[in-house]
Chains A and B, each alone.
Chain A
Amino acid sequence: MVDFIQNCLDGIMLGSSYALLAIGFTLIFGVMRRLNLSYGPSIMVGAFIGTLVYLEFKANAVAIAAATVVGAVIVGIYVERLCFRAIRRGAAVASMVSSFVIWMQLEEIVTVVFPDRTYPFPPLVTADPIELGPLFFKVENIVMFAVAAAMTVLLHWLLQHTRFGLALRAVSENPRAALFMGINVGAVMSLAFVIASAFGGVAAYLIVSADGQITPLFGLWATFKGLIAMMLGGMGSIPGAILGGLLLGVVEAQSIWYLGTEYRDLSAYFLLFLFLVFRPGGLMGQLAVERELAATRRV
């Protein structure tokens, strides 16, 4: 029983990093209705820029985090301009494939510039795990969890209590109607992309500093974990992204413990497949999916 609870806790801690990734994913998907496969790789580039700052200038944690976020935002803007802004709406497949080739491009640029593949990344905190009775907590995971919670609150405030949030929700609901209301749709989308990239940069910094190292494979990992967490939670729902991330973490932790490491990803994908078949809306998005289905039936 203690094992099970410890696994759940480990899973929630692991899941908080997935939740961090899923938030940025959800924000972009919610507004654009298009999938950005380059999301993981662009924050990976940000993290490599952080590493560069660390190795070249022996900078402190704040400077490294800032470099990571700024790097992620710059690459994010590049992706948005090339893959989303320039390709007209309605060509969702083209955007997605375009973001995929840019992923490949970013990965190769990183391997050319950083030929050693694995680079050190300074840890944010170097504290011993906290013991609470028979249970263990890792400090860096608690930080991650706290940041994920703070980000959710911040996003909620931004979306629900600012004019920008109102415009963003309008664009997400119906871009054309938003345009008629005098909203600058392009600017809103770009800004949403920048915010998502900044959140992604923070996520990348926390995850990579908890690992203590970075490789170009981080991009693939981040894209897929973020995507799975987003789908489990329900597309376009921020609370869903958090719950989806935590669920993914718990399922992975339990399957590592009870089935073995080789079953970790297998059970994650199996869970995703089951969700898609039986509850495609995920934990929080089922209502939207059913509304859409009902609308189709009415037609």
Chain B
Amino acid sequence: MIWDFEWTFQVLPDLMRGLAVTVQATLLGYLIALVLGLVLAMVRRIPVLGAIVHGAMEFVRTTPLLVQLVFVFALAPSTVSALTVGIVVLGVHYSAYTAEVYRSGIEGVAKGQWEAARALSLPASRTWGAVVLPQAIRKVIPALGNYLIAMFKDTPLLLAITVVELLATARQVGSAGFRIVEAYTVVGFLFLLVSVPSAIIIRRLERRYAAV
């Protein structure tokens, strides 16, 4: 078994295209997770509705993303593309995690801040928007960053619902060229190429913003 460099460089553009799909799905899914997670964290403070939302989040968090993907994909109307389904499921799944992160940040805001907002009779929108969230979110930025990396590493699961991302591309070109070892090994390296630098950036962020 000899490593075929020529072939490796030949398929690299294809793999890079796959990587672009992976990155696209990650970023869009992350956007959903960031926004929906914040909404869920705020809804969880409402008495009855909060408990229901918490239960649902718990269910989403303790069941495999892969099964959720295949499930939703099977139910989705055929007009919706597989990539869209993947992005939405990825985003919703991770919003169950980011909601917990936001919650810990919100609970970390000193009680006096809430009381001060109440004493100044600020409306709820200003209490959240100008007092609580700016302090809460600042503290959880590194933790949120960790989930970006986690999500990036979960996107290969999209191949189960026919999205041609990095791993699926490798499977295609690898079996077409009978060069499975090269294809999957390059995928491993591409993953490291993205996730190791991002891990370093997050460690920097952690040092800059005090973690909760």
Q: Do A and B bind each other?
A: no
Binding site for A on B (CB under 8 A): none
Interface residues of A (CB under 8 A from B): none
